[in-house]
Chain A
Amino acid sequence: MDEISRKIRKDILYISHRSGHGHIPTCFSIIEMIRAVYETMRHDPQRPDWEERDIFILSKGHGALGLYCTLSHYGYFPISDVFTFGAFESNFGCHADRFKIPGVELSTGSLGHGVGVAVGMAQGFKLSGRTRKVFVLIGDGESNEGTVWEATMVAANLKLDNLTILFDNNCSQSRCLPITNPEAKFAAFGCNVLTVNGHDLSALKTAILSPAEGEPKTIVANTVKGKGCRTLENNTFEWHRRSPNAEELKMLLGEVNETSI
């Protein structure tokens, strides 16, 4: 883990402790994926509505705190703003609101909506002859929803090679409906599939930048829920939606400081 990923994780811990909100393990699962997108796609934090920007959608909306802390790192707003997370009339809700947060393109929360909207955006860019790209991050649990597969099927049929689905394969759904062999499933639905270590920033960026022609890309990112804190990694169900008290915060910060990826 580089110092940026470490800092983002620590921000998440502090803010969750302060607010009593946030899904920390899922946030820790997706930090490198979001970073890889923002370090490769066209965007300008000073002009979040820039007409030539690429689009990133966090479809698994409960990872909003991870998105906020990462957007803050790239200059969209100061991290101090995010400390109001979940508070009454804060802009920083537990699920992101596109009208309140610069850089958020779609208000999400209910699972299974992001891919369909991303397909419409990608089709819109194709129709208007633009080279803008669309990235949508989904979870393996989210992929229990049929809409994920319905929209993926449409994306392949429309040959949307300007669309990339980032699949957070943290096996969060192992206790009820696991998505086994996601590579084969997305390939069967017509995607060009790449598999990477979802915490390897360099590998993620290489996968994002790899050429695509005539078919949407799916990057199966093998991740660990709670990555960076052994307590979270070993107790993902207990910590799914739990905020640390002062003592636990100290312990988790210590684990983040010790971890190398």
Chain B
Amino acid sequence: MRRQFKDTALRIAKNDEKLVFLFGDISVFLFNEFRELYPDRLLNVGICENTLISMAAGLSATGFYPVVHTIAPFVTERSYEQVKLDICYNRFGCTIVTCGGSFDYAWDGATHHCYTDLELMRMLPGMEVMQPGSKNEFDILFSECYKNGNPSYIRIAADEHGFNFPVALGKGVIIKETPGAKVTIVTAGPLLGNVVDATNDLPVNVLYYHTLKPFDTSLINRYSKSNIIVVHDAYGLFEAVNAACAVKVTYHGLPDAFCCFYGTLNDIRSKIDLDASGIRKKIISALT
């Protein structure tokens, strides 16, 4: 998906000279071609996330469409006040594109885990929040939001869910619908792959959200009489669903603990029952 970020940037920059990138010293090699073609429009500013965000506000004030790119925890958790005030309160359009969300850097330990980003960004007035689960989703969502004047947050994932369906910013997707189903599973991002594996033969509905804000409340409300289970390896989706419908929603996801197990993304998902078998166990217990 990170390569798609580069491809999308190249495609748009060709026709839009207002698109500029501020990097926090990551993905620089990946963007070599971009830097050769547009040396002034990709600044590898430094390892200084607060300044990356503040600078983006300033560039927006002067008519550019800035995109800040660095690792999720450092720009959302460390620089939260810059995002809140310089971008959102001052209403300067900016797109923040991160990698390393949830446990994508499992092996690096808790300093590099980030499961709060989506919810932190969701709480900020005016912010659009996206967690694409495929290259196609990233391409469409980025293209829709980068110059719409709103602050936007897009989390790039290390893995993909492997499905293709029509994508539009702010629209949820029905993955599976079972007539009379008592249980509706709601998920976002690449975890959809595990959810589909877990529910292939189960009589449930499955809804998918690549956009957590603006949230497609009309879609979730169509299923409000069923038992809704949010399956997600981050915060944000559960809160969005709860805010959208007046029903009891349960959450199957993160423990109230740091997940310091190292290994891979899938190792951690297995450990906290977010692999297909862990998800399946949770759903079967809800069905019985």
Contact = CB atoms under 8 A, between A and B. Distances in A.
B62 A121 contact: yes
B43 interface: yes
Interface string A74-100: 000000000000000000000000110
Interface string B56-84: 11111111101000000000000001100
A63 to B, nearest CB: 17
A212 interface: no
A116 B50 contact: yes
B64 A98 contact: no
Contact of A116 (B20, B43, B82): B82
B86 A117 contact: yes
A158 B85 CA distance: 24
A124 B51 contact: no
A121 B45 contact: no
B85 A128 contact: no
B90 interface: yes
Interface string A111-125: 001011111111111
Contact of A154 (B20, B41, B45, B53): B45
B59 A123 contact: yes
Nearest to A99: B91
A154 B90 contact: no
A127 B20 contact: yes
A36 interface: no
A110 interface: yes
A121 B59 CA distance: 5
Interface in B34-63: 40-41, 43, 45-46, 48, 50-51, 53-63
Contacts of B46: 153-154, 157
Nearest to B66: A120
A128 B86 contact: no
B89 interface: yes
B41 to A, nearest CB: 8
A150 B46 CA distance: 10
A104 to B, nearest CB: 10
Nearest to A108: B85
Contact of A121 (B40, B43, B61, B91): B61
A123 B45 CA distance: 11
Contact of B58 (A98, A123, A146, A157): A123
A98 B90 contact: yes
Contacts of A119: 51, 54-55, 58
Contacts of A151: 48, 50-51, 54-55
A99 B126 CA distance: 15
A117 B50 contact: no
A157 B47 CA distance: 13
A229 interface: no
25 contacts: A106-B90, A107-B85, A107-B89, A109-B85, A110-B81, A113-B86, A115-B54, A116-B86, A117-B90, A119-B55, A119-B58, A120-B59, A120-B62, A121-B58, A121-B59, A123-B59, A124-B58, A124-B61, A127-B62, A127-B64, A147-B50, A147-B54, A147-B82, A150-B51, A153-B48
Interface of B: 20, 40-41, 43, 45-46, 48, 50-51, 53-64, 66, 81-82, 85-86, 89-91
Interface of A: 98-99, 105-107, 109-110, 113, 115-125, 127-128, 146-147, 150-151, 153-154, 157-158
Given A120-B59, A123-B55, A124-B59, 15 more contacts: A105-B61, A106-B57, A107-B89, A113-B81, A113-B82, A116-B50, A116-B54, A116-B55, A116-B86, A117-B58, A120-B57, A120-B58, A127-B64, A154-B46, A157-B46
